[in-house]
Amino acid sequence: MAASGSQPLLAVRDLVKVYPDGTVALNGVSLDFMAGEVHVLLGENGAGKTTLARIIYGEIRPTSGEVIYEGRRVLFRGPWEAIRAGIRMIYQHFSLVGGFTVADNIALYGSRLGLSRREALEAARRLAEEYGFRIPFDARVSDLPAGIQQRVEIVKALLVEPRVLILDEPTSLVSPLDVEALFRVIRGLREKGVAILYITHKLREVGVIGDRVTVMRRGRVVATLPAKKATVDQLARLMIGERRLPEEPRIAAAGAAGERGAALRVENLRVVREGFEAVRGVSLEVRPGEILGVTGVAGNGQDELVEAIVGVLPVAGGRITLLGRDVTREPTWVRYRLGLAYLPGSRKLSLVQEMNALENLALGLLGAGKLRGPFIDWGWVAKLLVKYVEELGVVMHSPYAPVKHLSGGNQQKLALARILAVEPRVLVAVDPTHGLDIATTRIVHSILAEMRSRGMAILLVSSDLDEVLQLSDRVAVMNSGRIVSIKKPHEYTLEELGRLMGGAA
Amino acid sequence: MIGLIISLLVVATRSSVPLILASVGEVVTEKAGIVNIGIEGFMLLAGVVAAVVDYATGSPLLGLLAGAGVGFILGLIHGAASAKLKANQIVLGIGINILAFGIGVAVLNHVWGNPGQSAPLPTIPPIRIDGYFTTPMFLAAIAIALAAHYIMTRTTLGLEISACGEDPHSAEALGVKVETLQTLVTAVAGILHGLAGAYLVVDYIGQFTRDITAGRGFIALAIVVLSNWNTILALAASYLLGLAEATALNLQAILGVPALSDLLNTLPYIAALVAITIYGVKARAPAWLGRPYIKE
Ligand SMILES: Nc1ncnc2c1ncn2[C@@H]1O[C@H](COP(=O)(O)OP(=O)(O)OP(=O)(O)O)[C@@H](O)[C@H]1O
Ligand SMILES: [Mg+2]
């Protein structure tokens, strides 16, 4: 760990970053990173964490201030220079070329490090083995679930041992087991003297993996403290400042789920994706006013289950009944009109990034058959937008700006506002709080709880165990395409969940 | 009959050269994510400069080199404006086409005092094989197409280029100098476009005329789609369309129906349409083609 008085391996001094649109993302940030130390950077959405990382990695240039590496002032002209200097970054939104195979991505990265294709792939295989990652090297990246993409990212970053490793919210998409594996990797690198910059907004991770923690708020450093001594409450207060943290909704009491018939019923469902049977006989039921949580290690069939229910993937066997009607062979739009809504795991999928909030809402209404053509009553759409934007507290400058300019949290709130406006009866939500800070996460949880108490049937598919246990009336665990257990949340123990998710039932 | 077919096949080696050069260049450019619809203008400007140099020095080879140089400079401009300055690539291309036509006519007027055509110019000596004449440029074009294919499929440089066109953000994060690479690729492809234009003047036609390119730049663009962004298929398609051109010329000579050549010139477009319809989803453009890559 950081020997006091020793030189930092990497430091930033008085960094200021003003984006071309005038957003001040960093407002005078100075930090040190020691060899053999895990420095956690904690902050809410929009605090400037990713901006800081991108500057160190040479991807964008600071407006002013400097980066000092190995005692020298550096200004990397691009990631290629940072990579050569021994700095690696694992991005929050993965940075693999989707149209390429895993092997191509690794070969390309390896070539930056002076490795031949064969050397790079050999190194990757060795690392994958060492960490127990199963990686399909010949698969196209865009076909892989997020959890596996992340493993590719990790392996890729470690092809040649780095001196500095930046991880931007590495645990937001993966299961607790993967997190354990990741932490083992990080600890191993720390022993070898790698300086690690670990970005997160999960308070609990700070004490587990960190040596020092820096809290950022609105582009400034609020405090730097020893990670092991900081309490969760203390960090939360530093992170959100004066504002009050919204309460987590209480779910267990309500029990709105009556013994009415199931709104969504899946019977013995089988789904094949690219010749692989990803879902192998899943049966489940979601009743009105109930949240059924589905969790599991990424890549165990959750994505395929969801896509089959929504109608994006064809069904190989079994039956899907929506509000009493067999929709197994119906196209997606029919399901939407019947009252199904879908909140995909990636915000990029749920909103059309280049279109504005009004247009996005209109599209949602159109899909659900609530907006009649051929002429659009924009006044009505705007009224709906205003109503739900206020209800959910979406912060946006203008309903006419492309939604890509909204922060992640606001995009997710907008996507939820659209679902409320559409008034579906069944909602399939995937990782609804992925990448959101605690304040926003709690708001989203309250919205979901509210939807449930309005009688919506919600299938909540999430790899965030806390979230699933917190919100669900019942929790299903998926492994290898099967549901291995369905129980009430309090009937599980954490060890049991870990075992079930790992497949050792 | 056999004799006619053989002679058509041989003439096609000459008529296909500009299509091979231009389409191979454009395949690689588009793989890098940049679209260049100004190929026609590149060819025309390179052609007129080649004509002047050839005329002044009496060396068609110097003319060819000059044409390559013009293509390189235009490519550098188009590449830098697209990749670094994030200009609209379509507008840029149209601009180059319009500008090139104007400059061509102006130079014709100035040098030869005729807005339509130049004087006849010295040409590159043909190769004679068993009584048939072809051009060394055909061999050069094939070599270039094969080299491009090798680079695109077997080298990390090719992987880097494709990554720029697929997903520039990820490419950059993987350590690729996206903007620089896009600029350079467009410039090098510009050399091929320039060679294509110069070849028309100092070899194929032996004269510069204001409409010498006759839409070949656009045909090259169609070939790119037709080939599904594959340089070998682009080579093959270029040869077939060169054959169509040779046939059209011959039929014209035999039948005396000039209109037929215009009709036959629409062949590549029809072929592209048909092929795209048949391949359906299989023809897949680079995901980021023509879109400016903006980092912040
Ligand atoms: N390319 C960009 N152009 C304009 N503004 C940007 C850009 N990228 C980020 N911002 C803004 O800069 C601020 C800081 O963003 P940054 O991504 O660094 O935050 P973060 O701490 O990583 O947040 P999160 O936890 O959501 O990832 C935010 O207000 C964001 O909207
Ligand atoms: Mg971030």
> Which amino acid is located at A38 in the chain?
V
**Of A24, A13, A56, A94, nearest in space to A197 by CA:** A56
Tokens of B240: 């077939």
* Contact check, Cβ <8 Å, A19/B296: yes
| Model confidence at A173: pLDDT above 70 | no
B129-134 long-range CB contacts below 8 Å, 24 or more apart? Answer: B132/B6, B132/B7, B132/B10, B133/B10, B134/B10, B134/B13, B134/B14
CB neighbour list of residue A469: distance below 8 Å, 6 or more residues apart:
A293, A475, A489, A492
Please tell me the distance in Å from B233's CA to the nearest CA on chain A. 21
CA B3 to CA A499: how far, in whole Å? 79
Check residue A4 and give its pLDDT: 47
Domain ranges of chain B: 13-119+134-282
Interface test with B, best of A57, A60, A97 (most B CBs within 10 A): A97
Per-residue model confidence (pLDDT) at position A250: 67
Which residues are CB-neighbours of A196 under 8 A, at least 6 positions away? A37, A38, A39, A164, A165, A166, A167, A186, A189, A190
**Count of other CB atoms within 10 angstroms of residue B130:** 6
Q: What b/e sequence results for B28-52 when a residue is b if at least 16 CB atoms lie within 10 Å of its CB, and e otherwise?
A: bbbbbbbbbbbbbbbbbbbbbbbbb
Range in A238-242, B6-10, B109-113, B128-132 with the lowest mean pLDDT: A238-242
Is the pLDDT at B228 greater than 80, yes or no? yes
Question: CB neighbours of B62 closer than 8 A, spacing ≥ 6?
Answer: B53, B54
Residue B202 tokens, joined:
């100092």
A419, A430, B195 from A364: Cα distances, Å: 8, 17, 52
User: Under a CB-based contact definition with an 8 Å cutoff, are residues A304 and A273 in contact?
Assistant: yes
Q: What is the pLDDT of residue A296?
A: 85
Please report residues of A whose CB lies closer than 8 A to that of B173: 57, 59, 79, 89, 91, 95
Q: What is the pLDDT of residues A448-502, one digit of tens each?
A: 999 999 899 999 999 888 889 989 999 999 988 999 999 999 898 877 887 787 6
Higher pLDDT pick, A243 / B216:
B216
Rounded CA gap, A133 and A119, in Å?
19
Q: How many Cβ atoms sit within 10 Å of the Cβ of residue B280?
A: 7
What whole-number distance in Å separates Cα of residue B119 and Cα of residue B208? 8
Q: What is the pLDDT of residues B136-190, one digit of tens each?
A: 999 999 999 999 999 999 898 999 999 999 999 989 888 899 999 999 999 999 9
Three-class DSSP category at A368:
coil
Sheet containing strand A317-322, edge to edge, reads A276-286, A264-273, A317-322, A325-326
Q: With 70 as the cut, is the pLDDT of residue A150 above it?
A: yes
Residue in B with minimal Cα distance to A104: B159
Q: Where are the alpha helices (DSSP H) in B80-177?
A: 89-107, 136-154, 156-166, 168-173
Chains A, B: CB contacts within 8 A come to 67
Dihedral, CA of residue B25, residue B26, residue B29 and residue B32, to nearest 10: -120
Pocket of ligand 1 (CB under 6 A): A 19, 21, 23, 25, 43, 45-51, 92, 201, 407-408, 437; B 296
Ligand 2 center from residue A92 Cα (angstroms): 6
Q: At A2, is the pLDDT very low, low, confident or very high (cuts 50, 70, 90)?
A: very low
> Nearest-CA residue of chain B relative to A117?
B156
- pLDDT band of residue B270 (cuts 50, 70, 90) is confident
Question: Is the separation of the CB atoms in B164 and B41 below 8 Å?
Answer: no
Is B115 buried (19+), middle (13-18) or exposed (0-12) by CB count in 10 A? exposed
Which ligand is located closest to the Cα atom of residue A404? 1
Between A505 and B253, whose confidence is greater? Answer: B253
Question: Alpha helices of A423-504 — where are they, by DSSP H?
Answer: 438-453, 465-471, 494-502
What is the C-alpha separation between B157 and B167, in angstroms, rounded?
15
Pick the residue with more confidence: A351 or B221?
B221
Residue B106 has pLDDT above 80, yes or no: yes
* pLDDT at site A204: 83
Tallying the residues shown for chain A, one arrives at 505
Task: List CB contacts of B277: < 8 A, sequence separation 6 or more.
Answer: none
C-alpha–C-alpha distance, residues B158 and B171, integer Å: 12
- Look at residue A43 and give its three-state secondary structure: strand
**Best CA proximity match to A304, nearest among A277, A338, A337:** A277
Residues in a beta bridge with A16: A27, A64
CATH architecture of B13-119+134-282: Orthogonal Bundle (1.10)
| Rounded-to-integer distance, Cα A15 and Cα B125, Å | 64
Pick the residue of B152, B174, B293 with the most A CBs within 10 A to test the interface with A by mutation: B174
CA-nearest residue for atom 12, ligand 1, is A25
At A340, give phi and psi (nearest 5°): -95, 140
How close does chain B come to A147, measured CA to CA in Å? 17
With CA atoms as reference, report the closest residue to B243 among B221, B268, B218, B208: B268
User: One fold for both A10-240 and A247-339+426-505?
Assistant: yes
List, in sequence order, every residue forming a beta bridge with A264; answer none if it has no partner: A286, A322
Does position B268 have pLDDT exceeding 70, yes or no?
Answer: no
- For the beta carbon of residue B22, count every other beta carbon within 10 angstroms: 35
Strands B127-129, A426-430: pairing kind: unpaired
CB-based neighbours (< 5 A) of ligand 2, an ion:
A 50, 92
- Residue with the larger pLDDT of the pair A5 and A370: A370
Alpha-carbon span A265 to A325, nearest angstrom: 10
| Strand A457-461 to A276-286 pairing | unpaired
Say which amino acid occupies A297.
V
Can you name the residues that pair with A90 across neighbouring β-strands?
Answer: A167
CA–centroid distance, A234 to ligand 1, in Å, is 24
pLDDT at A7 over 60: yes
Look at residue B277 in the predicted model and tell me its pLDDT: 75
- Rounded distance from Cα A25 to ligand 1 centre (Å): 6
Residue type, B72: F
- Please report residues of B whose CB lies closer than 8 A to that of A99: 162, 166-167, 287
CA distance B59 to chain A (A): 43
Which CATH superfamily is A247-339+426-505 part of? P-loop containing nucleotide triphosphate hydrolases (3.40.50.300)
Does an H or E element contain A326, and which?
A: strand A325-326
The Cα A63–Cα A19 span in angstroms is 8
In this structure, the number of other CB atoms found within 10 A of the CB of residue B178 comes to 28
Handedness of CA B206, B212, B217, B218 (dihedral sign): negative
More confident of the two residues B164 and A255: B164
Report the phi/psi class of residue A331: left, alpha or beta, with left for phi > 0 and alpha for psi in -120 to 50: beta
Question: Of A68-77, A128-137, B22-31, which range is least confident?
Answer: A128-137
- Ligand 1 closest atom vs CA A47: 21
Contact A31, A241 (CB under 8 A): no
Structural tokens at position A15: 């960094």
Would you state the pLDDT for residue A347?
Answer: 59
pLDDT bucket at A213, cuts 50 / 70 / 90: very high
Element (H, E) at A164: strand A164-168
> What does the domain layout of chain A look like in residue ranges?
10-240, 247-339+426-505, 352-423
Query: What are the beta bridge partners of residue A402?
Result: A356
The class of domain A10-240 in CATH terms is alpha beta
pLDDT above 50 (res A371): yes
For B121-136, what is each residue's pLDDT tens digit? Answer: 999 999 998 888 999 9
Residues B189 and A398: their CA atoms lie apart, in Å, by 43
Q: Strand A426-430 and strand A457-461: pairing?
A: parallel
Q: What b/e string do you get for B250-271 counting C-beta neighbours within 10 Å, with b at 16 or more?
A: eeeeeeeeeeebeebbebbbeb
A288: cis peptide before it, omega within 30°?
no
Q: Is the pLDDT of residue A129 over 60?
A: yes
Tokens found for residue A495: 């060890």
How far out from the chain centre does Cα A199 lie? Answer: 13
Q: How confident is the model at residue A178 (pLDDT cuts 50, 70, 90)?
A: confident
Is residue B264 predicted with pLDDT exceeding 80?
A: no
Query: Look-up: residue for tokens 């077919």?
Result: B5
For ligand 1, mutation pick of A44, A51, A52 (most atoms within 8 Å of CB): A51
Q: Which of B116, B114, B107 is nearest to B49 (CA)?
A: B107
A293 beta partners:
A460, A475
